[in-house]
Structure 1
Amino acid sequence: MAATELMLGDEERLTEGKSLLDVSVTIEPLLPPHNIPNGKARGNSPSAGTDHTPNNKPKLNQNDCHDSGSSATSKSSRLIRSLGNGLRKHHNYIKIPVPEGRTNRLPREWWKTGVAFVYALFNLILTTVIITVVHERVPDKSVSPPLPDKFFDYVARVPWAFTVTEVNGMVLVGLWFIQWIFLKHKSIIGRRCFFMIGTLYMYRCVTMYITTLPVPGSHFTCAPKLNGDSEGKVWRILRLISGGGLSITGSHLMCGDFLYSGHTVTLTLAYLFIQEYSPKKMRLYVFLCWLLSAVGIICILIGHEHYSIDVVIAYFITSRLFWWYHTMANTKALRGAPNNFLARTWWNPLFNFLEHNVTTPVPCVFSWPVALPSSWCNSNPCEQYSMVDGDVNRDE
């Protein structure tokens, strides 16, 4: 009996111990096997020294790598789509200004405009000098009567017609000056205008000097000749410059500046620039300017102040110079083309100097001559930068 109880007690103790072992046993991860000199793998288990321990390291499948790569790609694509949606929703995040020197194809270069202005001013002063010189060579009306002119044969002289010409010219020049002030690219357009004024009046100096025509009518009253009085000629030059070369100011009392008409040059050139640099919606304004120019040119002939050939040559030279210049300026491919015959003009080097950095046609864009204060702008449109919205959803 005692032996039986002893055996039963031992079995209970074994059962309790077995349950304790079952609860307390933990599985530790095996260290990756590594090679030893005898070529067998050894781990951290007690039986690692034998070769009966199987290698439980899982092998990577190639499909698993593709799955993980595609999963990463899909995550990145979802992130890009969410960022794109956020940018479309909040499209006014930040405006980053780009340096003007790298992207601006219409640089201002005011110093070139200054060079063109000096060129025009020099030729205008030279014109007054040539007029003073030519005046001394004009033949007397009694010796050389006016040349026959077909327009004069059919249209009688109207005394006040030339006053209309000069008034129209001043109005056109004033309109063009105001329009030029409000143009955004006024530096480029200004030097084009100065170049053409200087070139046209230089041509006029040549034609006046080489051929001196008699007065077109008996109504002309020319100032007396000075016969070598240099001081008197200087005062005449200054008087002509101060009065702008206009008859209504009383400054133009000399004769001989007939071939070709300077008034026609001014009227034609002012209208061509107004037409070229005006928006298409301003058709009525352009038409009125054309009317002022046309009436002014016709009144030159009605007043018998110039021969018809003076007006025709002036219009022809002015319009062709304007169109040739702008054709070369607006067509960049012509500048370096070997078959560009317009590049054979004598003024092509000056053109390349003025238009070297202008790589695109100049658009008709208006802007304020001076920067407006930011307080005048509605909703702060004058600011260069737009702030990032503070309530933007960061998760997007």
Structure 2
Amino acid sequence: MFIHEWSCNEVKVWLKSEGFEKYSELLCEKHEVDGDVLLSLTEKDLRNPPLQFKKLSDIKKLWRCLKLLQQKSKIERRVLNGVSHHKSNHIYTTTNNNNHHSDDGRGSSYDETDHSSYIDSDIEVSMRSRGKDVVFLPELNKLFVSFLYATFVSWVTAYMMVLVHERVPDKQKYPPLPDIFLDNVPLIPYAFQLAELCGLSLAIVWLFILFFHKHRMILLRRFFSIASSVFLLRSVTIIVTSLSVPGQHLQCSAMYHSAWQRFVRATEIVSGFGMTLTGVHTCGDYMFSGHTAYLTLFNHLITEYTPSKYYRLHTFSWVLNLFGIFFVLAAHEHYSIDVVIAFYITSRIFLYYHMLANTRCYWYSKRVKIWFPLLSYFECNVPGKIPNEYCWPVTRSDVKRWTQPLYNKNK
């Protein structure tokens, strides 16, 4: 039963569970406080008549518990609204089978952020008891926003790559910087193509998973959001400092004398996905490695959105990720620090994004909402960790529904 539906007896049970049994008679019997009234109580109500609690410690402790209860009720109402919207618009739903377990050793302190996952679990159990499913809405409007974000960042990154190409220091005057890996591993001319083949292999696996995943729209939205944030940060790092080329074999003599030429070159980079396999070659964008960023992102996406029992696939994904990084260095296209920073930043952004989204910690922190506005916007209606369930993107009923008007017209 949801909190706002509690009777006075259920409010008594809650008060007893929180250690406020001595106030159950005052609240429930004398003033008939039910679930709906309980959610509307404020700290001022506890201090002033007719309740007028005497102890400051009781006022503060009960008010803290009430705030958590009100936040939990808000989540319940959001999920209920999602279920109602789903039923009226025939949006597919799925049951979240990922249970959240509490940690009995978390101590006596009651931190609001730590209890967000327990709240989601309570809602899920409560909804199941009422015969309802946890809803994961596709929200195509947010997918479109994330696509626009990715498109914008792609152009910004490509244009920054054009600008830094013009600023590359003369390698005769500024030779390659000392690097512990590049100085001890000989140049392998075809290694960069091998790195891109590793990336393409991971991309194909990711697209295959995305095609069959039941919540593909949410996954695609997250991919656009995370990749765009990583490469927007990369655009800043490559423009603020220009490093000398990491190898004497690199030719960086191309110059662009007008804004139109820069625009055309940026278009070529975007259309070629920035890969040498498509004929795109750039210089100067060394801090940090874009190829390492994509290798790492695809690897984390594959391991996150496939079941843990697919350990062979996960091992294969990690091998391609690590070999791809090695080939980037063996081609002497980036300094060692470039790939280290790229791997760290990409993996941390991915992990932090999913930690916040899965536990919904941002609901209880204004600071998180301020610093991660896109995460708050994209994930506000996702009720928890996305289950790894798969299905055909188009069912027989979908085909029948689409072809029915044509059949009726011909008939």
TM-score between both structures, scaled by the size of structure 2: 0.63
CA offsets, 1:122-148, max 9 Å, x none?
101111100111111111111111111
Q: CA deviation at 1:316?
A: 0.7
Number of the residue aligned with 2:214:
184
Give the length in aligned residue pairs. Answer: 273
Number of the residue aligned with 2:275:
246
Task: Specify whether residues 375 and 300 from structure 1 end up closer, same or farther in structure 2 by C-alpha distance, changes over 3 A only.
Answer: closer
Q: CA deviation at 1:223?
A: 3.9
Number of the residue aligned with 2:376:
352
Number of the residue aligned with 1:101:
86
Number of the residue aligned with 1:58:
none
Does residue 182 of structure 2 align to residue 145 of structure 1? no
CA offsets, 1:251-282, max 9 Å, x none?
22x31111100000000000000000001222
Q: d(CA) in 1 for partners of 2:328 and 2:295? A: 11
Number of the residue aligned with 1:280:
308
Number of the residue aligned with 1:12:
none
Question: What pairs with 1:14-29 in structure 2 (closer than 5 Å)?
Answer: none
Q: CA deviation at 1:231?
A: 2.4
Question: What pairs with 1:67-146 in structure 2 (closer than 5 Å)?
Answer: 101=86, 104-146=134-176
Q: CA deviation at 1:230?
A: 2.2
Number of the residue aligned with 1:174:
204
Matching residue within 310, 322, 333 for 2:350: 322
Q: CA deviation at 1:360?
A: 1.6
Letter in 2 for 1:282: Y
Q: d(CA) in 2 for partners of 1:124 and 1:213? A: 22
Q: CA deviation at 1:372?
A: 2.5
Q: d(CA) in 2 for partners of 1:237 and 1:364? A: 37
Number of the residue aligned with 1:366:
390
Does residue 266 of structure 2 align to residue 237 of structure 1? yes
SS in 1 for 2:396: coil
Q: d(CA) in 1 for partners of 2:276 and 2:342? A: 19
Q: CA deviation at 1:374?
A: 9.6
Give 1 or 2 for the bigger CA radius of gyration.
1
Q: Unaligned 5+ residue runs, structure 2?
A: 1-82, 88-132, 401-411
Matching residue within 231, 242, 246 for 1:201: 231
Q: CA deviation at 1:236?
A: 1.3
Q: d(CA) in 2 for partners of 1:120 and 1:251? A: 20
Percent of aligned pairs with the same amino acid: 39
CA contact (8 A) 1:106 1:359 kept: yes
Q: CA deviation at 1:317?
A: 0.5
Q: d(CA) in 1 for partners of 2:273 and 2:380? A: 33
Q: CA deviation at 1:314?
A: 0.4
Number of the residue aligned with 1:211:
241
Q: d(CA) in 1 for partners of 2:381 and 2:141? A: 13
Higher relative contact order (CA 8 A, sep 6+): 1
Number of the residue aligned with 2:41:
none
Q: d(CA) in 1 for partners of 2:321 and 2:285? A: 21
Letter in 2 for 1:235: V
How large is the RMSD of aligned CA atoms in angstroms?
Answer: 2.0
CA contact (8 A) 1:242 1:251 kept: no
TM-score between both structures, scaled by the size of structure 1: 0.66
